[in-house]
Structure 1
């Protein structure tokens, strides 16, 4: 079974893009005639979003305040579950994960990757042609912005194929998504670049062949040894776990390393680096693994307090355990005296991937928890990397023993020194090999983002603390390139409006860029995303703005933040500032085969700066 999702301004009976040509339907009919497969073409029609039979935005995923109060009420992911149940009951299907796939173009490509990641227990393989990169999903009133690149681990134990046309206008987003999938070993991933001049379905037979090969992969029906999953909904089921959220607010429930006897759970207001969602209660019910009405001792490590607590739970008649937890972060273990798990690496950085300064000796916060009910003995922890851009000292570290529930901080036992080049954040992966009881082995990895070299101060900077300013900003002109500078008046922040940081104020920071990515983007201003470890500063919001005329629904993410009321005057806060510039890159003489490029590429570029914010003056 292959479920196909069409793109914008289309319906299930065809995709009349461009000059009215059908994109996928004729090739799909020919393929089904000669192969033992059923293809279901989804209809993403949303009446309020279509101006006529074909012209409109499908799937009700545009979201955000501009979409109105009804945004997201047509939860197509729920309809997908109903459709799968219906098809399996009516047609002669093989009703298992191994033999079920999704595929789609553009917005439908987003739906293919999003739904297969939301329901990995239903879908074993997924493919996407030139997928739209980000849209809004989640329950009405609590929907969130969902960027595909932040959720590639939802496809652990799945097969994924990404196809981009060489002349596709949003190809940069596909290249970024490819990079993330390609370095996620839990995903069986392949990528195809088709020589074509526009946003289109190309090589459909080759992609359907990929799915037919997946249908032969029996391991797709195996239950995962462990899994990760992020979900924005108030109720969901994942691999037999039932999760519900009381007092649901916008944000994600994040599950990590879920396995029999152990799981990690926390929440984020936004991805990939949002703070926890406060004031919620998570109800997590396991599969029926624990026997009828048996009592277990539970170990609970709180990420908020850094302390371990114990309590008892009794399983249901069906053998399920139910946990009630806040969303601030927990590592939970079910103890029976027979566990043989290695020491658990605790979360390195609550915000996500650590941001590292180059050319300085650092000590990554490496802490390990014995999550078992027995003493762990003869432990060796070896930290290494295959990247030449990091030097590691102090490895390996030997530990004689670790008591049940004990946390050991090895941060100072290891040293790391990173180097980088110019440009954007630079990826580096570190690997841990944990040996315990002299022979049991366990391997895992974690990533860091290294700041570029050099990291200059911004050309000019404005602090908005409740005041209004009129700033020159750049806007693209249209699909054939070009752009212009226009004035934008903004009123942001909360404070005395004097343009200086003071204790208790909420601020945004704007920087001026002498030359943006577009040739016409000169001396324009940009609100920044802010990174810091300073204890006197808290990020208060992720601000998401449209990128001028972009057709992708991609947003520009920046920050507001608050200075703590007890911050001492004169305190200096070291910041890293990130802003994005973008361009419609029109190349009218570029050919792809015999065809000229149809529309401008939509490119973007991050720019990073360092800045010292002095509080109180």
Structure 2
């Protein structure tokens, strides 16, 4: 017998009502729902909490999104020890809608989010596409406050990584995020094109998002999260960080105190205004992306990053990096940038561009479209560009630096020069440049200079000054660069930036160097050459200290750095977290010797502590 559709709907309602009970037949406060997802091509689940009073008012509410961990779903996370029924009291207290999303990619696959090691990236679907889709569904379906000032993320474990990653991917969509015992880095992308996204190098993406991190001294990821904390400091990003006993979990069983602290952190931000930044920078591992009204399009179909640097209406820098923080450029075709509509619609402007490929400055005419945007095209080898009107003042931006022909600092005294680019007009006073350092181990002498730029001068060389570097090599994989702050005052205008400068640490030479040039040192060979176990010009080699693969941090001589390749391995630990990176280096034609600063990593099993050993390499190149 065929049932009438109305009868079917009644049966479904009865089943749903029965499913929303707990032991003792007490009704649960949440709803388990679905929506149609174009990203996934099927229905996606989510769990919804509505605050007390929602059904009796027309009030709109902020929204908190919760991201579960490995093996979890929207309705469970065995490691987190969440008290799902008790969370309703927090939702009522903070008067927010809470959505627990489902990071599952495929029912037979327990690992969520399509991130991890190489073999874990299995699907074309991307969670960076699903997050805006879910937000759009929630905003259309419920009475939300649909803006970044009233939207935040909480994530646990792998979901903690996602909270950091997606908050940095979409700082224009969220105002605050919390990572609870989060993972520090994963490969993100598609099976044929995925990039290692290390949170410790990407806090520049999070400058306009308030962040809090929960960790525990007995958590397996404790030391890796200390690297993340150091990465935030390296970028000058203030974060809240609190340690809790108990290890890898959200809360003690039967409690919601720690989850409540996360919600309180978000709720505090929901009551504030978060204006769009006047200056911002962003790394993105996708070839096409949008942020703060800017649109980037490229044919990038390989691992790496596109980097927009110090973006303002006066201009920006655009670069590519195969890996962070100092990988070579990504060999891709043109990159198109459509600016935000920040210019006078239909007006004519001048564009100045410095190309690191040609080492030349050019000026051309550009025109804003009917909405006030300008479309620009770049190569992938590094550019600094400016947009200005004929009556605009000069706007001086950092271009590059030189330390007696080196692009790094050595321990001790360094002679240092900085070049500036005027990406504005010719009007203004003589620029005053002040250089300082946020690092206690870096001392600047004579860093404040006033210089007179000639009319029409676009590139300005600052007089040489001294930088005294006393930095020690990091003991773990936290960022180790020196930081210099450059402030340029030009009459009533001020431009500033912070640059990161690698350090060539004063460390002993390694004494047991082995060469993989196609001849295996352990397991399979990764180098390519004549397989005689010696360095020859033109070969791609992987260096070992004993049985430890080396990462080349600074090349002093004999290495073609533009041809360096990235490789990695997962040193065994209880969980596959904390990737170890190494270098496959190209020996330059005609080289007689290799000289470089290198390092290798070791890892403890539980907790995962990634330790770094530094040393120098000097190796004769065979004829």
Q: Distance in 2 between matches of 1:49 and 1:235?
A: 31
Alignment of 1:607 with 2:575, yes or no, is no
Task: State how 1:91-110 maps to structure 2 within 5 Å.
Answer: 91-110=142-161
The match for 1:472 is none
Alpha carbons of structure 1 residues 492 and 250: separation in structure 2 relative to 1, 3 Å: closer
Deviation at 1:208, TM superposition (A): 0.4
Note the C-alpha offset of 1:175.
Answer: 1.0
Residues in 2 aligned to 1:375 and 1:105: alpha-carbon distance in whole angstroms: 52
Look up the match of 2:103. 44
Report the Cα distance in structure 2 between the residues aligned to 1:278 and 1:197, rounded to whole angstroms.
43
In 1, are the aligned partners of 2:394 and 2:428 still within 8 Å (CA)? no
Q: CA deviation at 1:63?
A: 5.3
Unaligned runs of 5+ in 1: 51-55, 470-487, 513-523, 585-599
Larger radius of gyration: 2
Write the distance in 1 (CA, Å) between the matches of 2:333 and 2:239. 36
Matched, 1:578 2:584: no
Question: Is the aligned partner of 1:546 residue 2:570?
Answer: yes
Deviation of the 1:205 alpha carbon: 0.5
Q: Any stretches of 5+ residues in structure 2 without a counterpart? A: 1-62, 253-257
Residue in structure 2 matched with residue 266 of structure 1 by the alignment: 319
1:474 maps to none
Pick from 288, 310, 315: which aligns with 2:363? 310
Secondary structure of 1:492 counterpart: coil
- Provide closer, same or farther for how the CA distance between residues 84 and 354 of structure 1 changes in structure 2, counting only shifts above 3 A: farther
* Shift, 1:199, TM fit: 3.9
User: Could you say which residue in structure 2 is the equivalent of 1:564?
Assistant: 588
State how far apart, in whole Å, the 2-side matches of 1:420 and 1:272 are: 18
**Compared with structure 1, are the counterparts of its residues 354 and 161 closer, same or farther at alpha carbon in structure 2 (3 Å cutoff)?**
farther
Answering whether residue 349 of structure 2 is matched by residue 343 of structure 1, we say no
User: How far apart are residue 365 of structure 1 and its match?
Assistant: 4.5
Residue among 277, 290, 293 paired with 1:224: 277
- 8 Å CA contact 2:103–2:113 kept in 1: the answer is yes
Q: Which residue of 1 aligns with 2:487?
A: 433
Q: Structure 1 residues 322 and 466, CA, compared in 2 at 3 Å: closer, same or farther?
A: same
Q: TM-score, normalised by structure 1?
A: 0.83
Q: Is the 8 A contact 2:224 2:610 kept in 1?
A: no
Structure 1 residues 417, 261: CA separation in 2 closer, same or farther (over 3 Å shift)? closer
> Does structure 2 retain, via aligned residues, the 8 Å contact 1:134–1:553?
yes
Deviation at 1:27, TM superposition (A): 4.2
SS of the aligned residue for 2:608 comes to: strand
2:548 alignment partner, one of 481, 505, 525: 525
Residue correspondence of structure 1 range 379-390 to structure 2 within 5 A: 379-385=431-437, 387-390=439-442
Which residue is equivalent to 1:11? 73
Q: Distance in 2 between matches of 1:402 and 1:24?
A: 68
- Mark the CA change 1:547 to 1:36 in structure 2 (over 3 Å): closer, same or farther: same
Q: CA deviation at 1:562?
A: 0.7
Q: Summarize deviations over 1:290-328 as a string: whole Å, max 9, x none.
A: 233333221111122221112222222222211121111
Match for residue 407 of structure 1?
459
Q: Does residue 230 of structure 2 align to residue 168 of structure 1?
A: no
Mapping for residues 75-94 of structure 1, pairs under 5 Å: 75-94=126-145
Q: Please tell me whether the aligned partners of residues 457 and 611 of structure 1 are also in contact (alpha carbons under 8 angstroms).
A: yes
- Correspondence 1:202-601 to 2 at 5 A: 203-218=258-273, 220=274, 222-348=275-401, 355-359=408-412, 361-374=413-426, 376-385=428-437, 387-404=439-456, 406-410=458-462, 413-421=464-472, 424=475, 428-437=482-491, 440-453=493-506, 455-469=507-521, 488-512=522-546, 524-534=547-557, 536-538=559-561, 539-565=563-589, 567-568=590-591, 571-584=592-605, 600-601=606-607
Cα distance in 1 for residues equivalent to 2:105 and 2:438:
49
Instruction: Quote the offset at 1:103 in angstroms.
Output: 0.7
**How many equivalent pairs are there?**
550
Equivalent position SS for 2:525 = strand
State the shift of 1:384 in Å: 2.8
| 2:548/2:600 contact within 8 Å kept | no
Counterpart position of 1:74: 125
Corresponding residue of 1:516:
none
Paired residues of 2:549 and 2:582 also in contact (CA < 8 A) = no
Confirm or deny: 8 A CA contact 1:105 1:200 kept in the other structure.
Answer: yes
C-alpha contact 1:299 1:405 (8 A) present in aligned 2: no
Q: Distance in 2 between matches of 1:250 and 1:526?
A: 21
